[in-house]
């Protein structure tokens, strides 16, 4: 059996096709951005409310929704992607597992040491993940969303820490929820 060597043009065509497939798959999963946008917004605004009414000892309780969201997301992608992954989807999945694991560890184990620096660090990691996802599938919307979240992380360093959850909630609406809705709408238009 002879191995066929791919020409440069054929190689680039294959790479472009893989990126296009990953983009289509990812846009269909705009639902997960909507899900996380809502979940982060609810948790953040709830924490802000608890801080405003001086429930300091339980202000972080709303974030116990996050591990449940992680379990749901894992199950969702396991069922949806069963046997259908390509290299780009796999790399993005691994990146998000790494980022979300680090966010959970920082929040639930090291939060007491990081204190007012926790939210900016979480936003930085979230921004990096969204930026990488956008770059992987050549989505300007997600690249801009990642940049917006990174900027909000740096703004946190200048804000009183009681307003960090409010900023994180607003950032998640603007840079996670709204892009997720746009991705879902694009997907519906394409499949009509």
Mean pLDDT in runs of 10 for the chain (192 residues)? 62 72 64 95 97 93 95 87 72 90 94 93 96 88 96 96 96 95 84 64
In this prediction, residue 2 carries a pLDDT of: 46
* pTM of the model as a whole: 0.84
Quick one: pLDDT at residue 149?
97
Looking at residue 4, what is its pLDDT?
Answer: 58
Q: Which three-class secondary structure string do you get for 53-92?
A: CCCHHHCCHHHHHHHHHHHHHHHHHHHHHCCCCCHHHHHH
Domains in the chain: boundaries = 10-190
Rounded to an integer, what distance in angstroms lies between the CA atom of residue 12 and that of residue 72?
A: 36
Is residue 149 a contact partner of residue 127, using CB atoms and an 8 Å limit?
yes
pLDDT of residue 100: 94
């Amino acid at each position: 059996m002879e191995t066929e060597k791919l020409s440069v043009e054929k190689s680039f065509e294959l790479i472009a096709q893989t990126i296009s497939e990953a983009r289509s798959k990812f846009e269909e999963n705009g639902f997960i951005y909507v899900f996380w946008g809502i979940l982060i917004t609810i948790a953040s605004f709830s924490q802000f409310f608890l801080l405003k009414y001086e429930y300091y000892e339980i202000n972080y309780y709303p974030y116990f929704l996050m591990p449940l969201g992680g379990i749901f997301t894992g199950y969702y992608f396991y069922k949806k992607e069963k046997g259908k992954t390509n290299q780009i989807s796999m790399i993005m999945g691994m990146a998000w597992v790494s980022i979300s694991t680090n966010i959970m560890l920082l929040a639930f184990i090291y939060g007491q040491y990081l204190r007012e620096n926790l939210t900016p660090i979480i936003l930085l990691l979230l921004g990096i993940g969204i930026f990488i996802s956008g770059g992987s599938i050549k989505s300007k919307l997600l690249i801009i969303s990642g940049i917006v979240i990174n900027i909000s992380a740096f703004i946190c360093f200048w804000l009183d820490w009681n307003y960090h959850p409010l900023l994180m909630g607003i950032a998640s609406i603007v840079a996670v929820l709204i892009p997720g809705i746009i991705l879902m709408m694009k997907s519906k238009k394409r499949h009509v």
